[in-house]
Every structure is written in structure tokens, then in C-alpha cells.
Chain A
């Protein structure tokens, strides 16, 4: 009796662990050895009970529960296979307005255009365009199954920078170290350690004024640690360090989102928010999860019927 209940609980947990990959995809847990070990132990327990029940160790009830155990094993093996043998989760960072091929999906990802307002509201989306199939439109909170993969958007810090000269003329922003050379959207792909903080940063230039600007992204809680008197602690900001073409430092300042700051002959307005990256994760096939759950429920229902039936 005790072994039966334990086996049923474990079997249900195995199904839940496998289904979690589809239901809660935004976790790195599924590609860890701890997750694999948990599912594997669950499968071994389920198999051990099923093997005993097959030989009559738990009577008629045990034999009826074989169906439920089979369901758990189908879902568990599918979850284990996608977690361990499926491709690792990849995150594709695309510049607003560009198209990036995604060979794993046989699709092209259209990263939505984003102006300062879209960055501030984190409202930009991504469209997956596939040959001989409909478009998949992804908004910020959605996740969708495409083929044997799960796709969803990850919000990453981003900033839209407007730069003017001292006369108020708009200046071209370039990103010489990025693939997005002509983009005023900073995606903070690199990181820098400052004390205990691991800070995302990006770099841009204003060639017309021979300035190179490094922008370090700080969340409101990061800013609070600096106890900066002029900082608006409720909004994110960027610390801007400006140098000339030769690398000579010309100044440093803090720019809170949406506010103009003047530094080294530039007037900079950074609108800080988020822009999505496309995450592609392996997921157990839907059919395996559905079959697993159906078999499990059928097994439970059968075992609940009177033994003569």
C-alpha cells in the first residue's frame, strides 16, 4: 500500500517535471544534471514498481496501475530526452529592424523596429517567418511551440540614444564594435565587473564629433548602492564615459533614462528600457506529454473501479 502510493506520487512528479518544460520554459533548470537526476530517479522508481506489479506483487490493483506507470514513463523519457539530448537553449540577440536566420527552426526572425518609445515600454516583438507555414508573432510574455522547439522572448536591457552637438544638431550614432554599425539602440551585449556588480555595457561613437562613449547599464537598485545624490533611484540609468578618437578620457556622467546630459561637447539622451532577444529551447513533444497524462489518468480511473469489473 505504502509502495503503491509512493510510486503514484513519484509518477505524478515525473509527469509534472516533464510538463514544466513546456509550461515554464524560462528556466535554465532543464539542462542541469540535477534535473536529469531527479527525472531519472523518478523513472527508476516508477519502473521498479511497474516491474513488481507486472509480476503480481501488488495484486490486481497494481496490474491496473501499470497503465498509469506507463504514462509517467512516456512523459518522463520525453522530458529527459529533450532536457539532455535536445539542443541547449540558444538566445539570439537581434538588432531592431533586422532579419536573423534561425536554422534550427527553418525560419527567419524579424526583429521589430524600435524607437525610443518602444524601448521605454519594452513593447517590441519578433516575427518568425517560416517557409510553407504561417508567421509566428511573438509578443513579450508569450511562448510558443514551433516544431520540436519552444520559442519565447527574453527581455534584455536596452537603451535608445539620441546625441546632439552643442548647437542642437542631431549626430549620427555608430557602433563600430558591433554588427549593428548604424544603430542607435544599445543592447549591452558585453559585461564588466565593477566591485561586486556585474554590469552590462555597450559602446557607441559619434564620428562627426570624434567621440567614443562607453555606456554602463545600472538598475535602480545598482544606482542606490552608489548613493549618487543626483540620481533618480526609481529609474535605471547609464554611466557614460567619453573619450576622444585617440582614447583620451574627456569625462564621465550619469544619465538617468529620458533626461539630457551634457558631456564633452555632446548632449546625450538615453531612453532606457528593454528589447527582446529570441530564445529557442528544446521541449518534449506535445504528443508525448498528452499521451503520458492520458495513460496516467486512465490507469488511475481503472484502478478506482471495483475489482470485479
Chain B
């Protein structure tokens, strides 16, 4: 009888055995998943050499746009972004954040396209990582409270920009 118990115990324990996972990858699911999270900020230089960051615009609604000069949808979106920045001057801060390129490259592009809103040069792609950019362009609307209101993957039209920022303006109006 005791021998049977030992064998039964061993069989029971063996049946419970699960091979350990080889490992699993974690990760978010793009910028849309960040809504409501505190907006991360990093000090990086602007094309004019001054240091800027998202945090320095706390208290204002910010439309942050991650882009590069080699990205066709980013280039296509830029005129609409420029127009949006001009028509919302004083209400919304538009920050263009170049991902991984040199300041000279970003500056040449901005001059050529007549971009007047601030361009931050994020050579180390810190914003791209933190905002889980799964493609370019990636836009993030940040409320006055410093939290992400909405993350958008892909280029937007002017109408779409107005639509995504409107709730942030309405919600956090002083």
C-alpha cells in the first residue's frame, strides 16, 4: 500500500508539470494605447539649438508629431500640420519631433517647406520609443494636465487634426 501511494504521488506530480515558457515579449499596442497615461518628456535640442521638451509646454494643449524627412506620409502631412499650427496659434502648441536625424537635415527640410512651428531634433529617438510609434508619422495629443488624450498612428488631414484636438481643448479649458 505505501509503495502504491508513492507511485501515485509521483504520477500526480509529474502530470502537473508544465515546461517553462521560453520567454515572452511584452510591449504596447501603438500610440492609441497610451490614452490617459502621463505624457513622457525628454529634453532635446530644437533646430535653432535651444533645448525644448514636451514638459516645458505643460498647461497648454499640445499636438506632438513624430516625423522624419525620408517618410513620404510625413512629408505629405506637413502642409496640413503647418496650417493647423497657424490657425490654432495661442490655443494649441504644435511640436514636430524629428526622429533620429541630424539637426541640419531637419532644418533644411523645415525651411524648404516653410514650417514655422518648433521642430525638436530627437536623434536618440526617445520620443519614438516612449510613445510606442509603430509607424511614421505618429501624433499625440497631450492635455493641459500633462496626460495623453489621444495617440494617432498615420497621417491626418487638417479636418482630422481639428477633430482630435477639439476634445482636449474643450475638456481642459481653463
Contacts and interface: CB of A to CB of B under 8 A. Distances in A.
B135 A84 contact: no
A31 B20 contact: yes
Nearest to B66: A182
A89 B24 CA distance: 10
A183 B133 CA distance: 9
A287 interface: no
B21 A90 contact: yes
A170 B100 contact: yes
Interface stretch (A36-44, A143-151, A262-270): A36-44
Contacts of A157: none
B71 to A, nearest CB: 7
B34 to A, nearest CB: 8
Interface in B71-114: 71, 99-102, 104-105
A182 B99 contact: yes
26 contacts: A31-B19, A31-B20, A32-B17, A36-B13, A37-B13, A44-B9, A84-B13, A84-B16, A84-B18, A89-B20, A89-B21, A93-B24, A95-B129, A100-B26, A109-B26, A170-B101, A172-B68, A179-B25, A179-B28, A181-B134, A181-B135, A182-B136, A183-B128, A208-B68, A208-B69, A208-B101
Interface residues of B, number: 46
Interface in A79-104: 80, 84-85, 88-102
A88 B18 CA distance: 7
B101 A90 contact: no
Contact of A173 (B14, B21, B100): B100
The 8 residue pairs across chains A and B that have the minimum distance between CB atoms: A182-B128, A172-B100, A100-B26, A179-B27, A208-B70, A92-B26, A91-B23, A97-B129
B10 interface: yes
B36 to A, nearest CB: 12
A16 interface: no
Interface residues of A, number: 48
Contacts of B17: 31-33, 36, 84
The B interface is mostly helix, strand or loop, or mixed, namely loop
The A interface is mostly helix, strand or loop, or mixed, namely mixed
Contact of A90 (B24, B28, B68): B24
Given A37-B13, A172-B68, A172-B125, A100 B21 contact: no
Interface in A34-62: 36-37, 40, 44, 48
Interface string B128-140: 1110111110100
A40 B105 CA distance: 67
Contacts of B105: 169-170
Given A181-B135, A208-B68, A208-B70, A93 B23 contact: yes
B125 A173 contact: yes
Contacts of A183: 125, 128-129
A132 to B, nearest CB: 17
Interface string B56-70: 000000000010111
Interface string B25-67: 1111000000001001010000000000000000000000010
A277 B21 CA distance: 14
B20 A88 contact: yes
Interface in A160-207: 168-173, 179-185, 189, 207
A33 B102 CA distance: 55
